[in-house]
């Protein structure tokens, strides 16, 4: 546990029930944070929190749709109302989208942008007042290498949403310094339910990434050690030259 973290210090992880979110929650719990996992399905998020508690961590589950502004406000109020501060936000929940310009419906475009990008606005807005009150905060958002490569063909809305996260990260870093740092992580192909790919061709380190690979970097950025890193996008992809 570092000096900035005490038992009242909460790390909020959206999409924390599985995949990269859960892997990151495990790494944050090892740093001493109290975890607030936010996800869509009650059973899944409760099970994830229970798994963390079974390791001795403090963890709670909250059901919310990250694309809903009011739900983010409600959950943040509930956490802070218990005399705690939210010091870390991991904007992780996201969905894929695989239709190109001439196939994608307006509804799919809106849904992808709302869940992948607007969610980062919703949750930053909900938790930053608590970070400012306590004088210290870390916002980390999961973008993707698709933010700059454009992703595989027809990832239009996905790539746009993930690029949007980078612009938001830089803008928020300017607005929220010096007490809050704001960074993004751009994972390559990570083995999760979202990504059924098993082939490691084109990845220099010869394997797909794991949620733990991303969790390690999340835990580093969430700690008090990287005091002079903000507004950055850190690629964690084993150097993936074919996307």
How does DSSP assign 62-119, residue by residue? EE--TT-HHHHHHHHHHHHTTT-EEEEEEE---------TTT--HHHHHHHHIIIIIH
Q: Determine, following the binding rule CB under 6 A, whether residue 60 of this chain makes contact with ligand NDP.
A: no
SS3 category, 137: strand
Q: Determine, following the binding rule CB under 6 A, whether residue 66 of this chain makes contact with ligand NDP.
A: yes
Segment 110 to 139, residues that bind ligand NDP, using CB under 6 A:
115
Q: Specify the residue, 5 or 208, whose C-beta has the smaller distance to ligand NDP.
A: 208
In degrees and rounded to multiples of 5, residue 194 shows phi and psi of: -70, -30
In order of 32, 160, 229, the CA distances from 133 in angstroms are 20, 33, 21
- Name every residue whose Cβ is closer than 8 Å to that of residue 213 and which is 6 or more positions away in sequence: 187, 190, 236
Among 22, 33, 136, 158, the active-site one is: 158
Q: Determine, following the binding rule CB under 6 A, whether residue 65 of this chain makes contact with ligand NDP.
A: yes
Number of chain positions touching ligand NDP (CB under 6 A) = 27
Q: Determine, following the binding rule CB under 6 A, whether residue 95 of this chain makes contact with ligand NDP.
A: yes
Q: What's the closest the beta carbon of residue 142 comes to ligand NDP, in angstroms? A: 4
In order of 72, 117, 118, 119, 138, the CA distances from 122 in angstroms are 6, 9, 6, 5, 16
Q: What's the closest the beta carbon of residue 201 comes to ligand NDP, in angstroms? A: 15
Q: Determine, following the binding rule CB under 6 A, whether residue 144 of this chain makes contact with ligand NDP.
A: yes
In degrees and rounded to multiples of 5, residue 48 shows phi and psi of: -65, -45
Give the range of 4-12, 53-61, 89-97, 228-236 binding ligand NDP by CB under 6 A: 89-97
Q: Determine, following the binding rule CB under 6 A, whether residue 39 of this chain makes contact with ligand NDP.
A: yes
Left, alpha or beta for 82 (phi > 0: left; psi -120 to 50: alpha)?
alpha
Respond yes or no: is residue 158 known to be catalytic: yes
Q: What's the closest the beta carbon of residue 187 comes to ligand NDP, in angstroms? A: 4
Q: Determine, following the binding rule CB under 6 A, whether residue 166 of this chain makes contact with ligand NDP.
A: no
Residue ranges that bind ligand NDP, judged by CB under 6 A: 15, 17-21, 39-41, 44, 65-67, 92-95, 115, 142, 144, 187, 189-190, 192-195
- Residues serving a catalytic function are 158
């Amino acid at each position: 546990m570092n000096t900035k973290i005490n038992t009242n210090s909460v790390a909020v992880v959206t999409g924390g029930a599985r995949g990269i979110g859960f892997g990151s929650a495990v790494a944050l719990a090892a740093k001493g944070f109290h975890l607030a996992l936010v996800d869509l399905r009650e059973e899944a998020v409760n099970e994830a929190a229970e798994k963390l508690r079974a390791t001795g961590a403090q963890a709670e589950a909250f059901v919310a749709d990250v694309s809903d502004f009011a739900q983010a406000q409600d959950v943040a109020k509930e956490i802070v109302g218990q005399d705690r501060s939210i010091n870390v936000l991991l904007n992780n929940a996201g969905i894929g989208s695989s239709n190109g310009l001439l196939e994608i419906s307006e509804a799919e475009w809106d849904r992808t942008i709302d869940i992948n990008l607007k969610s980062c606005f919703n949750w930053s807005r909900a938790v930053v007042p608590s970070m400012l009150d306590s004088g210290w905060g870390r916002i980390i958002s999961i973008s993707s290498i698709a933010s700059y490569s454009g992703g595989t063909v027809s990832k239009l809305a996905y790539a746009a949403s993930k690029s949007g996260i980078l612009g938001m990260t830089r803008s928020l870093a300017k607005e929220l310094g010096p007490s809050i740092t704001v960074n993004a992580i751009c994972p390559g192909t990570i083995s999760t339910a979202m990504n059924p790919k098993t082939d490691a061709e084109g990845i220099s380190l010869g394997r797909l990434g794991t949620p733990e690979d991303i969790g390690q970097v999340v835990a580093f950025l969430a700690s008090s050690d990287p005091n002079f890193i903000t507004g950055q996008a850190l690629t964690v992809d084993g150097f993936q030259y074919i996307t």
